[in-house]
């Protein structure tokens, strides 16, 4: 028995058919795999939005100053998705 929690979702018939076609194409092994990939894609997009917002904030903050190692470490963590 699987220890992975499950979640049920309701889809319109056109969406259900679309998901079934994506799985049938062989690109995804199951509906769950397809949904997990969509969630991971959304997570990546959210991290990219956060990074863009931080970059815009930095550009609007005025003249540049030299980065410290702490600044570099924070940017690396943000880029990896560890922060934000």
In this prediction, residue 14 carries a pLDDT of: 98
| Residue appearing with tokens 């062989």 | 26
Q: In angstroms, rounded to a whole number, what is the distance separating the alpha carbons of residues 60 and 58?
A: 5
Question: Which residues does 74 contact at the CB level (< 8 Å), separation at least 6?
Answer: 83
Per-residue exposure over 18-31, b if at least 16 CB sit within 10 Å of its own CB, e if not: ebeebbeeeebeee
What local confidence, expressed as pLDDT, does residue 4 receive? 86
What is the helix (H) or strand (E) element at residue 56, kind and residue range? helix 31-60
pLDDT digits (tens, 9 = 90+) for 19-38: 999 999 999 999 999 999 99
List pLDDT tens digits, range 36-77. Answer: 999 999 999 999 999 999 999 988 999 988 889 999 999 999
**Residue 33 confidence (pLDDT):** 97
- pLDDT value at position 2? 61
What pLDDT is attached to residue 9?
94
């Amino acid at each position: 028995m699987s220890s992975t929690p499950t979640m049920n979702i309701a889809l319109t018939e056109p969406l259900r058919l679309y998901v079934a076609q994506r799985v049938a194409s062989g690109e995804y092994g199951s509906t769950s795999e397809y949904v997990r990939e969509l969630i991971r894609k959304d997570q990546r997009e959210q991290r990219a939005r956060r990074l863009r917002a931080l970059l815009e904030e930095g550009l609007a903050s005025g003249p540049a100053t030299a980065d410290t190692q702490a600044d570099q470490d924070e940017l690396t963590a943000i880029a990896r998705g560890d922060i934000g």
